[in-house]
Every structure is written in C-alpha cells, then in structure tokens.
Amino acid sequence: MKPAPFEYHAPASTEAAVELLAELGDEAKVIAGGQSLMPMLALRLAVPEHLVDLRRVERLCGIESRVDSVWVGAGTTHTTVGRSAEINRAVPLLARATPLIGHAQIRNRGTLGGSVAHADAAAEYPAVALVLNAQLETLSPRGRRTLSASDFFTGMWSTELAADELLTGIVFPARRGRCGFAIEEFARRSGDFALAGAVVAVGLDADSHIDRCGIGLFGLGPTPIRSTDLEAELIGRNSAEVDLHEVGRAATEPLDAVPSDLHGTADYRKRVGAVMVARAWRRAVEEATND
C-alpha cells in the first residue's frame, strides 16, 4: 500500500515546528527518522493530513556533556548515539542498547527522540530512559518544561506530550561510583522487537552493598515497566547474597498486563522475562563489583 495524501512541512527551527503543531492540531504528525511512522503510513494505520518533518532543525541534534549528566538531542540518530565516546563513557547503558535496535539501516535514520516519543513498549530506549531516571525536555507554544521518564509513558504508543508539544532533548545522569549496567532481550530474529527484555543498573558502596538500582522490563506490558518495589527491597543488601533467579521471578510475577499473541503467550513471555532479568542482573553486578 501507499500512504494517503498529506501536506508536507519542513520547519527550520523548533519554534516554527511547535507553531505548526499548534496551528494544525490533531491532523498533524511529526516525522524525524521515520522508521516507525513510515510503515504505519504505508499500511494506512496512520492517516495524517499534515506531516511535519524535523530533519532541518539542527538544534535537535547533538550530544552535550554537563556537570553530572549528558544531554542528547531528540533528533540524534541511533548510530550517532552508539558511536559517541562520551555516551559510552558516561551513559554506557544507552550505548549498549543501541546495537539491539533494528538493523544498521534503521539505526542510521532512526532517532533517540523518535523512539522515546513513539513509546513502543517493546523498544529499548524507552526502558533505558525509565531505568536511568532520564529527564525529557519539551517545547510548546506555552514554553518549555521537563518531564521525568517515570511520568512520560502513559499507555501503548501514548505519552504525556500534548498535541502541540515537541520532545527536544533527553538528559541522562552520568555514571558515578561503583556501578554496572546491562541489557538483555529475547527476539525471534536479530532486529525484531523483543518478546521480552530487561534493563538493569546497579550501584554498590565500598562494602558491596547495593546503594542504588534500577530494574526495567520491556515487551511485557503496554508501557516499559520499572520494578520499583523490588528495587526498594534490594537496597542495602549485599550484592553477593542476592539470588539472581529470585530477582528475575520477583520482577515478573506481579505483571498482570503481559501481551499474548501469535509470538508467545503471556505466561511464556513472563518466563522469558524472568530469565532476561536474571541475566542482566548478573552482568550488571559483576561489572559493578569489578569497577
């Protein structure tokens, strides 16, 4: 199939882009890399009357180191994120998630902001943003605001972004102290969306007690999921005494909205998810222990 007819707009600034979104309302769709939107347009799952192309907006691209964080422009491609020495040093979890996204051609065109704003529950970047407590910067005709990743994802393919609001950048906290990070996922084929995946970040004190941690799940609900209750239980425990398989079970057993489809039943996905959490927990703890 081919997309339905639409009117094309290519603003040169973020201000011009949000003005267009405010003017055009719900009949407009934003496109950056187009790796999620274009298939939907081709299948006519999305039929916008207007397409607002952000590729000319240079201010949406780039990576900037700050005192204790790293800012990444929403228009920065996956490939740029994965190749960035600063990202690899300061936000290694983001760098490690990048090769798991689709294929090289998709990573060359797809953008960080596009992935997060699209809010696919099986995607890697939204889960990473959630586990790392990322801050999402937006712009609308009403001004700028900053949203926590924990408040951003509201449902399947839906977020807190208003119709006239644009995601402009994401701020990730830089790694500090003894810490380890890991991402694990299971997919039928390389490049497919994950049937179940896990993201883990662990920080240890000088005695190898857990002083901070984040456990995230993707592909196991309508949004990326963070196991906040389990995280709270793990704080203060000696990392060597934590049973990784118990962590996997504890992270997945409470889930009650796991999808069931031709790719796998809900029970199957939960069992796979538990294994992914256990593997990610082991790798993250090992890295933190050896840091």
**What number of other Cβ atoms are within 10 A of residue 194's Cβ?**
26
Spatial CA neighbour of 33 closest among 64, 12, 7, 60: 60
Counting residues of the chain whose pLDDT is more than 70, the rounded percentage is 100
Q: Torsion-angle region of residue 19: left (phi > 0), alpha (psi -120 to 50) or beta?
A: alpha
Cβ-in-10-Å burial (0-12, 13-18, 19+) of 287 comes to: middle
What's the pLDDT tens digit per position in 222-281? Answer: 999 999 999 999 999 999 999 999 999 999 999 999 999 988 999 999 999 999 999 999
Q: pLDDT at residue 137 above 70? A: yes
Query: For the chain, what is the mean pLDDT?
Result: 95
Query: Cα–Cα distance between 169 and 129 in angstroms, integer?
Result: 12
CA dihedral (78, 84, 88, 93) in degrees, to 10, reads -20
**What number of other Cβ atoms are within 10 A of residue 124's Cβ?**
29
3-state SS string for 218-283: ECCCCCCEECHHHHHHHCCCEHHHCCHHHHHHHHHCCCCCCCCECCECHHHHHHHHHHHHHHHHHH
Token code pair at residue 69: 């964080």
Helix (H, G, I), strand (E, B) or coil at 170: strand
Counting residues of the chain whose pLDDT is more than 90, the rounded percentage is 88
What are the boundaries of each domain within the chain?
Answer: 7-52, 60-173, 178-290
Are 134 and 140 in contact by the 8 Å Cβ rule? The answer is: no
Choose between 40 and 127: higher pLDDT: 127
Distance of CA 278 to the CA centre of its chain: 20
- pLDDT interval class at 1 (50, 70, 90): low
- pLDDT interval class at 43 (50, 70, 90): confident
So what CATH class is 7-52?
alpha beta
The residue-averaged pLDDT of 172-187 equals: 97
Superfamily of domain 178-290: CO dehydrogenase flavoprotein, C-terminal domain (3.30.390.50)
Are 75 and 150 in contact by the 8 Å Cβ rule? The answer is: no
Q: pLDDT at residue 163 above 80? A: yes
Q: Of all helices (H) and strands (E), which one includes residue 291?
A: none
Spatial CA neighbour of 140 closest among 23, 278, 6: 23
Query: Cα–Cα distance between 270 and 252 in angstroms, integer?
Result: 6
CATH code at 60-173? 3.30.465.10
